[in-house]
Chains A and B, each alone.
Chain A
C-alpha cells in the first residue's frame, strides 16, 4: 500500500519534471528521453541514499538559508524568507508539513544546484551523452512500456508559466515574535524576583574584593565578612554565590591589613621581603580587578541577544574569574596568619612548611614567594660564612652573637638559635655555618689575623658565588651547602695553620706536658732538690719570689734552659691558698700562662684540672724523692756493718732485725711507688699524649682540636685516679703517701740514732785506745750505751711495726679496690703491683 503510494508519487515527480523539460523547445531526438528509464533512474537514486548526510536541525537550516541569501546580497529576500519560514514553522497539527527540515533542505539543495548550473551554463558541456547512456543502457528496464506512453502524453502538455516568478515580501519585523515575548517575560520575572540587578551585585563584589564596601554588599563586623543584607530580596542561589565570592574580599582585607600594618622594625628584613612579595601579588590581583571592572561596565545580556557582546560579567563568570585569585589569596591569608607572630628564620621555616604542596600552582607560587623571603636570610648566611659579619639588626638569623671576653669567644660568643633555624637548613649544615663564621671571628679577634679574607675569597670562587650581593636563593640548598663547605674547609684550614704555626699550639701542649705534668725528669729532679728544703717550712713563711728564683735556678741547671724563652716565660710558681699549719708542700704548684688565643683551649677550668694533675704528680714525685733520700741514708755499706761488730750480741741482733724490718718496709714501699710512677708516666701520660698528637694531626678545625684536648685531659684524669669515681681510691692513696712520708722521717730518725750510737761507740773506742787501760767507767759507759741503744731500738722497732701494719692494711685495701674500678687501665696497674700475687694470695689463704 505504502509502496504503491510512493511509486505513484515518484511517477508523478518524474512526470512533472519531464513535462517541465518538454515545455522548452522540443528536442531533436525525443526518443532519448525515455520516461520509463527516467523513472527507473529516479528510483535508483532514491534508493541509493536513504539517510541525509547532515544532522536534522530545522532552525539552523533556516538560519543557513537566510545567511546564504544575505551573503548573496539579497537582504530583502532573506528577510522575506525569514518571515515565511516563521509562519511555515508555526503551522502545526494535521495537514501541516511534518518534516519541515527535509523540505527546507530539499529547497536549499535544489537552489544551490540550480545556481551552479546557471553559472556554468555558458561553458558547460552537457553530459547528456553520459546520462543517455546511463539511462538507456546502464539501467535495466524495470517498468513496462505503457508507463512511458503515459509519461510521453503528459510531456506534450504545455505548462502555464514559470513557477518562481511570484513571492511576497514582508518588510516589518514581527512584533509578536514568541521567543522575544518569552524572553521579555523572563526579564520581568527576574526583575520582580531581585531587588538588585546582577550588574550591581557584580560591581559590589568587585569593590568588596578590594576591601571596600559596595552599595549593597557591606562588611559586617559581627559576622566578620562581607554580607548581602537580608532585607534585600535575591534568590537563594544568588545569595549563596555572593557569599562565596565575597570571601575573596575578606581574605584580601586580611592580607592587605598585614602588609600595610607591618613596620620594618617589627618584622625585620625577612618580614619585609615577605611583605614586598605579598605586595607584588596584590598588584597582580589589582590588575585583574581592573580588567574585570572594565568588563563589568558591559550590560549583562539576556539569553536572547547573546551576540551583542561577549565580555560582560555575570556572577557566574565572576566566580570563574575569581577561582585562581581565590586560591592564591587564601594561601596568602594562611601564610599571614601563621607568620604574624614569627620573624626571621622562623618565618621562612613556616612558609617553607606550607610550600610542601602537590598542586603545581601553589607550589610555583610558594617557591616564588620563598625565593624573595629567603633572600635576606641567605645574604646573612653568605656574609657570615665569608666575612664573619653578623648583619642581623632584627635578630632574625639563626646564629646569635653575644659580647664576651676573647678567651670565651669560641665557646660562648656565638650559638645557634633553634627557633630561627628554618627547616630547609639541616642542623648539621647550620652548625657548620656557625663554626665557619665563628672561625673567622676567632681569627679576627683572638688571632688578629687577616689571612682569612683570602681564604674566604678562594672559597667564594670555588663555590662559584661572587662575594657581591645576592648569589643564593631558596631551593638552591646544594649551592648553599657547597659554599658553606668550601668556606668552612678553607677557613678551618687557615685557622689550624695559624694555631699551629703562629701560635705554636703543639709546642705549648708539649711544654705543659713537660713542666706541668712533670715529663721533663731532670728539671723535676733539680726543682725538687732546690725547693724541697724551702717547702718544708710552714706555708706562711715562704715567699713566692724566692720560690720563683729557685724555679729559675732549676730551669737554668736542667736541660729546660734550651727551651724557647717564650715558653719558659710562661712558667710561673703559683701559691695556692693555704690554712695555718700547712707546709710549703701543700701549697706549691706550677702554672703555665696561656695567652690569647691559646686560652680558648687552655681555659681556666682546663688549667684547674692541669693543676690537680700537677698536685698529684708533685706529691708522687715528692714521695719518690723522699724514698730515694731515705735509701741514701739506709743503704747498707761496710762502714755501718763494721761498726756494729763491736756491739753486744743481743743489741746487735736487735739492731739488725730492726734494720732489716726497715729495709723490707722500704722495699715494699719503693715497689709500690716506683710501679705507680711507672704506670702514671708510661701508661697514662705518654699513651694519652701519643693519642692526642695523632688526633692533633688530623684535626680539621678548632672544635676537633678542642675535643681532642678534652679527651686527652680526661683520659689522664681518669687513669690517674683523679676522677670522681675513684675518689675513695685517691684518698687511700694519699694516706699511703702520708705513711710513706712518716716512714721516711722514722727511718731518718732511726739512722740518726744509730749514727749517734756509732759516734759514741767510736768515741769510747778512741778514748779506750788513748788510755789503753780498761777503765771501769768506760765499761759502765758501754753498758749504759748498750742499754740506751736497746731501748731506742725497741722503741723504733715498735714504731716501724706500727707503720708497717698500717701501711700493709691500707695497701691491701687499695689493691682490693683496684679491680672494681671502671677504667680498664687500672687493672694493668693491679697486675703490675701484684705480679706475683703476693698481696692477693695470703688473703685468699686466710
Chain B
C-alpha cells in the first residue's frame, strides 16, 4: 500500500515536472516537489509564485548588479 502511494506520488511529481518543463518554469524537481507540498498544505499558489519570482529576481539582480551603475540611468 505504502509502496503504491509512493509510486503514485512519484508519478505525479514526474508528470508535474513534465508540465513544468513544457511551461518553461525553470524549476528543478526538488523545488517543484517543495512547491507541490506547500500547495497541498493550502498555500496560495499566487503567493508561492511571487516568492519564486522575487527570489529569482534577487538572483538576476545579483547577476546583473555589475551593470547596475551603467544602466541605471536608462530607466524608462
**A interface residue numbers (CB < 8 A to B):** 2, 5-6, 9-10, 12-14, 16-18, 20-22, 24-25, 27-30, 32-33, 38, 41-42, 45-46, 48-53, 65, 69, 77, 80-81, 84-85, 87-88, 91, 93-99, 102-111, 113-115, 117, 121, 123, 125-129, 131-132, 135, 159, 162-168
Interface residues of B in 47-76 (CB under 8 A from A): 47-66, 68, 71-72, 74-76
Among A49, A53, A97, A107: residue with most chain B CB under 10 A: A107
Whether A18 pairs with B66 at a CB distance below 8 angstroms is no
Please indicate the chain A residues that have their CB under 8 angstroms from the CB of B35 in the complex. 13, 103, 106
- Given that A96-B12, A103-B36, A103-B39 are contacting pairs, would A38 and B58 also be in contact in the complex, using a CB cutoff of 8 Å? yes
Indicate the size class of the contact surface on chain B: 35 or more
Choose from A103, A107, A128 the contact partner of B58 (Cβ within 8 Å): A128
Name B residues whose Cβ lies closer than 8 Å to a Cβ of A.
Answer: 1, 4-9, 11-12, 15-32, 34-66, 68, 71-72, 74-76
Contacts of B54 in A (CB 8 A): 41-42, 45, 131
Among residues of B, the one whose C-beta sits closest to the C-beta of A49 is B47
Of B18, B44, B59, the contact of A168 (CB 8 Å cutoff): B18
Q: Given known contacts A13-B34, A126-B65, A165-B21, what 20 new A-B pairs fall within 8 Å (CB)?
A: A5-B41, A9-B37, A9-B38, A9-B41, A12-B30, A16-B30, A16-B34, A17-B52, A88-B19, A91-B11, A94-B5, A95-B4, A106-B48, A106-B49, A108-B23, A117-B53, A128-B64, A163-B28, A164-B21, A167-B18
The smallest beta-carbon distance between A709 and chain B, in angstroms, is 103
If over half of B's interface residues share one DSSP class (helix, strand or loop), that class is named, otherwise mixed; here it is helix
CA distance in complex: A18, B9 (Å) = 26
Is the pair A126, B40 in contact by a Cβ cutoff of 8 Å?
Answer: no
Residues of A within 8 A of B58 (CB): 18, 21, 33, 38, 128, 131, 135
Complex contacts, A129 vs chain B, CB 8 Å? 61, 68, 72
Which of chain A's residues have a CB closer than 8 A to the CB of B7? 95
**A32:B65 contact, CB within 8 angstroms:** yes
Contact present for A33 and B46 (CB under 8 Å): no
* Distance of A113 Cα from B18 Cα, bound (Å): 18
Q: Which residue of B lies closest to A5 (CB)?
A: B41
Contact partners of A51 in chain B: CB under 8 A: 44
B53 CB to nearest A CB, Å: 5
CB of A95 within 8 A of CB of B12, answer yes
- Report B70 CB to chain A, min CB distance, Å: 10
Q: Do B15 and A87 touch across chains, with their CB atoms under 8 A apart?
A: yes
Known A-B contacts A110-B25, A168-B18; the reply to A103 vs B34 at CB < 8 A is no
Chain B residue nearest to A91 (CB atoms) is B12
Q: Which residues of A contact B19 (CB under 8 A)?
A: 81, 84-85, 88, 104, 107
Pair A103/B57 contact, Cβ less than 8 Å: no
> Would B22 and A84 count as touching, CB distance under 8 A?
yes
Q: Closest CB-CB distance, B22 to chain A, in whole Å?
A: 5
Residues of A within 8 A of B51 (CB): 13-14, 17, 42, 45-46
With A18-B55, A163-B28 already in contact, the answer to whether A84 and B8 are too (CB < 8 A) is no
Taken together as a complex, chains A and B put the C-alpha atoms of A69 and B54 apart, in Å, by 24
- The answer on a CB contact under 8 Å between A126 and B46 is no
Q: A16-B31, A18-B55 are in contact. Are A166 and B64 (CB under 8 A)?
A: no
B23: chain A residues at CB < 8 Å are: 65, 69, 81, 107-108, 110-111
Contact assessment for A125 and B55 in the assembled complex, using a CB-CB cutoff below 8 Å: no
